[in-house]
Amino acid sequence: MMVGAMLEAAERRMILLIDGFIATAALLVASRLQPAVLDYCVFAHCSDESGHAKVLAHLGAKPLLNLGLRLGEGTGAALAYPLLQAAVNFLNQMASFDSAAISRQGEA
């Protein structure tokens, strides 16, 4: 079910916040069926579960957090989500050089 949900979310061009070993294992299967699914993934954390770091490395994933979590229940995603929201806010609300009236280096 997770694999199907991931594939459908990617088809709808939605961001997938991948949390923990089980979700990453499901993503591994999804990526074998449709490699482009990886383009929509943000990896929340590297859990303390044996094997999770290996699957992340195999996928070429760089998780946002590495806190040694082994709790389940989406705790890594819950911790990473505010960081992801902050990054989106920075991108959407940061002034551009033009709007801040700052000259770019090398321009006269």
Looking at the 3D structure of the chain, how many domains does it have? 1
> Collapsing DSSP states into helix, strand and coil, what is residue 72?
coil
Q: Is residue 57 part of a domain?
A: yes
Q: Indicate which residue of 8, 49, 73, 107 is catalytic.
A: 73
Element (H, E) at 16: strand 16-18
Q: Is residue 55 part of a domain?
A: yes
Residue 86 is part of which domain span?
Answer: 2-93
Instruction: Tell me whether residue 73 is one of the annotated catalytic residues.
Output: yes
Expressed in angstroms, the distance from the first to the final Cα of the chain is 58
CA 45/CA 42 separation, integer angstroms: 9
Average pLDDT over residues 8-31: 95
- Could you tell me if residue 15 is inside a domain? yes
The string of pLDDT tens digits covering residues 70-80 is 776 778 888 88
Residue 93: pLDDT band by 50, 70, 90 thresholds? confident
pTM higher than 0.95: no
More confident residue, 91 or 37: 37
In this structure, is residue 104 part of a structural domain? no
Task: Please state the rounded mean pLDDT for residues 43-60.
Answer: 91
Residue pair 38/29 in contact (Cβ under 8 Å)? The answer is no
Dihedral angle, C-alpha 18, 28, 62, 56, nearest 10 ° = 110
